[in-house]
Structure formats: C-alpha cells, structure tokens
Amino acid sequence: MKKESHSIADKNVMTSGCVWSKMTLFAIPIFLGNLFQQLYNTADSYIVGNYLGTTALSAVTSAGSLIFLLIGFFQGLSMGAGVVIARYIGAEDKQSIEKSVHTAVALGIVSGVLMTIIGVFFTPKILVLMGTPDNVMPSSVAYFRLYFLGSIGFVMYNTLMGILQAAGDSKHPLYYLIISSVINIVLDITLIGFFKRGVWAAALATAISQLVSAVLCFIRLLNINADYRIRVNLISFDGIMLKKIIRFGLPSAFQNSIIAFANIVVQSNINSFGEYAMAGAGAYSKVEGFAFLPITSFAMAITTFVSQNLGAGNIDRAREGARFGTTVSVIVAEIIGVFIFILAPVFISSFDKTSEVVDYGTVRARTCALFFCLLAFSHAMAALMRGLGKAIVPMVVMLICWCIIRVSILVFVGYFIHNIAVVNWVYPITWSLSSIVFAGYYLKTPLLRNKEKDHI
C-alpha cells in the first residue's frame, strides 16, 4: 500500500492560520463522529426498547455509569497521551513524538486487557451494589459482561484516535466512526429485530463495531508517512514518556472515575424508584448525549489547540483559541438544551411509549436541559486546564462539586425526601457550582500570562 507523505507541519497542525477556522474545521469532524457514535448508542436503546420491552431497555440503559466508571479512567490516560503528543508535534520534536506515540499504544493495549478482566469479573457485584432490580439483573449482567469482553476495541480506538487528533487529524476518525456506526445498526436490526435475540446481542454489535473502528485507525497509523506513524516493532514503554503521560493523564483519569462513581450513586437512587424510572432516565440519557456533542467536540479542540500552540510558544494564539472554543461550545449546547426541553415527550416516547416511562424521562429532561450551558462551560474550562498541563485543577473541582457535593445532596436530602426530583436537580446544582469555581479560578489567575515557552 502506498504511504501518504506528511510533514510534521502539515495542514492539520494548528500552530498557524486563522484561529476560528482551524478550530472549527478540527471540531466539526469530531462533532460528526460523536454524532454517529451517539446515534448507534441510541440505536441500541431504540431497537431494544421497541423490540424487547421496558425491562430490556432498563437493563441496557441503567448502568451507563458502570461502563463509564471503567472506560472513563482509561479515556483519561488517553487524554494525557494526546496532550503530550500534541505538545511535541507543536514543538516539532520528532524523536519525542515517536517515543510518546509508541508508549501510548503500549499503554492502550495493557489498559484494554485490564478493563476486560475487571469488567467481566466485577460487573455482577457492582450491579448488586447499585440496587439493580432482580427482574432486570440477568439481562444487565449478560449485556455488560459481553460489552466488556469487547472493550479492547473501545480502548484502542480511543488511544489511536487520540494520536490522530493530537496531530490535528479529526477527519479520519470520523470516517471510521461512520463505518462502525453502520455496522452496529445493521447488526442490531439483524440480531434483535430479525433473529429476536436478547439484550446480549446489542452488546455484541457494539463490541464488533468498536473493534472495526480500532482496526481502521491502526491501519491508518501504520501506513501514514509522518513522525506519528506506528511501527509495530517499536511498540513498547519508554519510562520517561510513560511518566509524562501518567502525569498529564492520571488527573483526568481520576476525574472521569470520580464523576462515574457519583453517577453510580445517582443511578442507585433512580433504581429505587423501579424499572419505569430506570427506563425513563435511561432514555433521557440517550437524548442528553446529543447535547454533549458540541461540548466534547470543542473540548477536544481546545485541549489540542492549546497543547500544540504552547509547544510552539504561541501563547496569545492559545488564549484566543480557548476563548473561541468555550464560547461556541456554550452557545450550541444551550440551543440543543432548549430543543430538548420543548420536545422531551416526543424524544422519550420514541424509546418506550409507556406513559410512566415518558413521564419520568420528560421531567428529568425539563429539569436539566436549560442548564446545559453550565455543563459546557465546566467542560471547556477543564479542557483548557488539560491543554495547559494543569489537569489536577479540574480533577479537584470535579471531586468537590460533582462527587462530594452531589453524593452528599443525595444522601442527606434524599434521606428525608424520597422524591425523584431530588435526583433530577442534583445535576444542575453541581454544574452551577463547578462553573462558579472555574470562572473564579480563571478570573483570579490570568491564564497563559507567562510569556516564556511552556516545556513539558
């Protein structure tokens, strides 16, 4: 296969050119990729809910926090690898790019194996601790065990996608996500709709599609003629690079796990209201996922843009990019929130037309949707901190606001008021608190004021 020729300063690198254009052209493919990923995740729930019923829908959607508890940690490590690689790409340090890329791949392989083992063996115990109802438990265990058996594909896709995005290439991950999304939906329809298999079939479809996207990313990185190209014989741990990746990624990994732990506590509270509440909240979570699209897209754009430009010493440009990304993310997320607020009953009923399910999901949507701007602002600030190499800051903020305070509200207020409204409101309250803290930190500490080049 003929290899493409790319210099380190190719058109994908964001250290020169129009700031808003570079960031937008980088963010749009991520947005579309996340859209397709959200569509095929939603397709799982849609097909399961319509073909297998409320109990099956509860099983598939109720333990999303369990999945994120495990994959979120390894995603955080991938973020750290992306920051390191992007910084070296901005500095045009070819030797360090090569070492950081191959260390990231080695870390991804090990992480995928660990995630598989942990997920398969501990899923039943965690589901019990979450208070999963007995009638839902068998389907939940089957779904998540099979999901985690295929987790190597998910971890490696995120690792390899992170390498491409660190180099400014967000288009090819989009192409691969489109392909995997189509595969996932076709398998869902075939296995569940046609052959009438159980919820495990949805997990199998997801695992296969994720593995395909990982393989396509790997082939791309094997055959591109650039300094971030993968060479199989060089995949190994470089001690210095591993320490840097962990230093940048471990706070984000803990941040993701902290958020997931708090959400597991939230889900446990939802479970106490029965399968209708579980199905309604699960359906809403799929709808809410669309509000995360601009948030995650511009968060990644902010982190990569800031990292590359700090590596190149472009301090003012990094600041300008961070402001643009934050503004767009907040505005677009709030627009989506307004649409969800208005059309919530229509969206929820597409998963399950049971009136109780629709009521639970609609109330949840109309409690949270108008606060998406605060969620977007918090994620944008966290992305900026990661790009600056200050990942410890968002970790601490999320620990306090999204874990300690969130869980405390559920434990103390929920003890006296056993009402689903307490569970619903805990998210807007903690989003507001984290936004206030981040805004205060930003205003008190003028970011990027040090004009000296920021070395890793």
How do the domains of the chain map onto residue ranges? Answer: 10-444
pLDDT surpasses 60 at 54: yes
Residue 3 gets which letter from DSSP?
Answer: P
Q: What residues contact 353, with CB distance under 8 A and at least 6 apart?
A: none
Cα 57 to chain centroid distance, Å, stands at 22
Average pLDDT over residues 64-83: 77
Structure tokens at 154: 């998910």
pLDDT surpasses 80 at 9: no
Q: Is there a contact between 170 and 26 (Cβ–Cβ < 8 Å)?
A: yes
The pLDDT-based confidence of 451 (bands split at 50, 70, 90) is very low
Q: Which amino acid is at 109?
A: I
DSSP H helices in 189-314: 200-223, 239-271, 275-288, 292-311
Q: How far apart are CA 365 and CA 287, in angstroms?
A: 9
CA distance to 259, 295, 453, per residue, from 301 (Å): 22, 10, 21
pLDDT of residue 61: 65
SS3 381: helix
Q: Is there a contact between 302 and 456 (Cβ–Cβ < 8 Å)?
A: no
Q: Is 416 exposed, middle or buried (0-12, 13-18, 19+ CB in 10 A)?
A: exposed
Angle subtended by helix axes 292-311 and 19-52, to nearest 10: 150
pLDDT of residue 5: 40
Question: What share of the chain in percent tops pLDDT 70?
Answer: 91
Q: What is the pLDDT of residues 112-133, one digit of tens each?
A: 998 888 888 888 887 787 677 7
pLDDT surpasses 80 at 71: no
pLDDT of residue 373: 95
pLDDT surpasses 60 at 254: yes
SS3 228: coil
Q: Which of 292, 387, 286 is nearest to 332 (CA)?
A: 292
Q: How far apart are CA 68 and CA 41, in angstroms?
A: 14
Which pairs count as long-range contacts for 353-356, CB under 8 Å and 24+ apart, including other chains?
A: 354/54, 354/276, 354/279, 356/276, 356/280
Structure tokens at 44: 């799982």
The pLDDT-based confidence of 10 (bands split at 50, 70, 90) is low
The pLDDT-based confidence of 91 (bands split at 50, 70, 90) is confident
SS3 443: helix
Average pLDDT over residues 86-99: 91
Q: What is the pLDDT of residues 116-175, one digit of tens each?
A: 888 888 888 877 876 777 777 888 888 888 888 888 898 999 899 999 988 888 889 889
pLDDT of residue 174: 86
User: Considering the chain, what is the average pLDDT of its residues?
Assistant: 85
Q: How far apart are CA 264 and CA 262, in angstroms?
A: 5
Structure tokens at 269: 């509270």
Structure tokens at 149: 């058996």
Q: How many CB atoms lie within 10 A of CB 370?
A: 15
Of residues 237 and 315, more confidently modeled? 237
Average pLDDT over residues 83-107: 92
Average pLDDT over residues 241-258: 87
Q: What is the pLDDT of residues 386-438, one digit of tens each?
A: 888 888 899 999 999 998 999 999 988 877 888 999 999 999 999 999 999 99
pLDDT of residue 40: 67
Q: What is the pLDDT of residues 277-323, one digit of tens each?
A: 988 998 898 889 888 888 988 998 999 899 888 888 888 898 899 99
Of residues 63 and 176, more confidently modeled? 176
pLDDT of residue 64: 63
pLDDT of residue 143: 84
pLDDT surpasses 70 at 6: no
Element containing residue 66 per DSSP (H, E): helix 64-91
Q: Given the DSSP bridges, would you call strands 224-225 and 4-5 parallel, antiparallel or unpaired?
A: parallel
